[in-house]
Amino acid sequence: MRRSSITISKERFKQYLQKIGSGEKTSQGMNREESAEALHLMLAGQASPAQIGAFMIAHRIRRPEPEELAGMLDKYKELGPKIYSPTTQRRPICFGMPFDGRTKTAPIYPLTALILLDCGQPVVLQGGKRMPTKYGITTNELFQSIGLDMKGLSITKVQQGFASNGFAFIYQPDHFPLAEALIEYREEIGKRPPIASLELIWTAHQGTHLLASGFVHPPTENRAWETLKLTKEDDILTIKGLEGSTDLPTGRPSIIAKIKKDKSTRIILHQQDYNCHCQDIKWSNIEYWQKEAINCLDNKGPMVNSLVWNAGCYLWLSENVDNIKEGMDRAKESLQSGSIQHTLNKLIKWRKNI
């Protein structure tokens, strides 16, 4: 009797599980092709739930190697959604931050994105619903609170909006259901799996872009560098941001690595040098964030300082301006003139009319 294709797939997956989960002395890494196939079998549901859970926890314990992450990234790029820049559009900034959100510090990146858009800099964001293990506030919830709901769009509509407005939000439940199917395992194992590291360095954007990836621990940054080198990403920012996000802190020095082609530069920015030092705002709830975000759009309240710092730095890092001060001045002008609110209103109108 011939074995079914599912049985054969499970046998193949078992080989990869044995490789990474056989113990401290005998476990070994997968090569790039093996890692890509292992992830494919998980995404396609051709490995059993027991195998997938065991793989995730074993891989987390031994930590994925850059070649393994490169293989996983290859598979995300193959099976995931894809968006493209018009030929006349400036290269976008693609932000990578933890999909399980924020619980300790107030996010500023939705407002930073609006200033970047107002200054002609395209932006790509990504995320999903609240998810384990953190269940933090999500990108879409933040945008929803200021009137812009980006979920429920087809990838075709996202592409159209990106072409006309320079803004794309990849919402995993809508645009990458294969990856969404693995979310339940995060709750079951109680830990972030290696796929969480993958989410920090993956983007749906195809072609030339600036990839900004958040991190907390130096080993995460080192793995990101090596992985992205293998996958031929050559315009990268790694940010020691708030809770692993790409939000630059205002209460401590901002630590950044900028990699362009084969040249890498470590940047440490002190806010005191720009009269911008203050305590980072703590997260409390969405109602407080909504109130202060609306105040900030009107150039008022405690978020303004952080927004000017973040937007000014990213305008400089993306080579829209020659220095941070010029970037901060442009951010201030966007707030003082009300053009940031105009940019938000334009996006809201576009969303309502599609």
The Cα 38–Cα 41 span in angstroms is 5
What's the pLDDT at 22? 74
- Angle among Cα 323, 326, 327 to the nearest 5 degrees reads 85
* pLDDT of 161 higher than 70: yes
What's the pLDDT at 105? 98
The mean of the pLDDT values for the chain is: 95
pTM given for the model? 0.95
> With bands split at pLDDT 50, 70 and 90, how would you rate the model's confidence at 1?
very low
* pLDDT of 180 higher than 90: yes
> With bands split at pLDDT 50, 70 and 90, how would you rate the model's confidence at 45?
very high
Q: In the chain, where does the domain assigned CATH 3.40.1030.10 lie?
A: 90-352
* pLDDT of 54 higher than 70: yes
Among residues 240, 224, 185, the alpha carbon closest in space to that of 65 is found at 224
* pLDDT of 342 higher than 70: yes
> With bands split at pLDDT 50, 70 and 90, how would you rate the model's confidence at 2?
very low
Q: Encode burial over 282-308: b for 16+ CB neighbours within 10 A, e otherwise.
A: ebeeeeebbebbbebbebebebbbbbb
Summarize the chain as % helix, strand, coil (round to 5).
Answer: 50, 15, 35
pLDDT per residue as tens digits for the range 241-285? 999 999 999 999 999 999 999 899 999 999 999 999 999 999 999
CATH topology assigned to domain 90-352? Pyrimidine Nucleoside Phosphorylase; Chain A, domain 2 (3.40.1030)
> With bands split at pLDDT 50, 70 and 90, how would you rate the model's confidence at 26?
low
Which residues is 268 bridged to in the sheet?
255
- Asked if residues 71 and 231 have their Cβ atoms less than 8 Å apart, the reply is no
Which residues is 269 bridged to in the sheet?
254
- Summary count for the chain: helices (H), strands (E): 16, 9
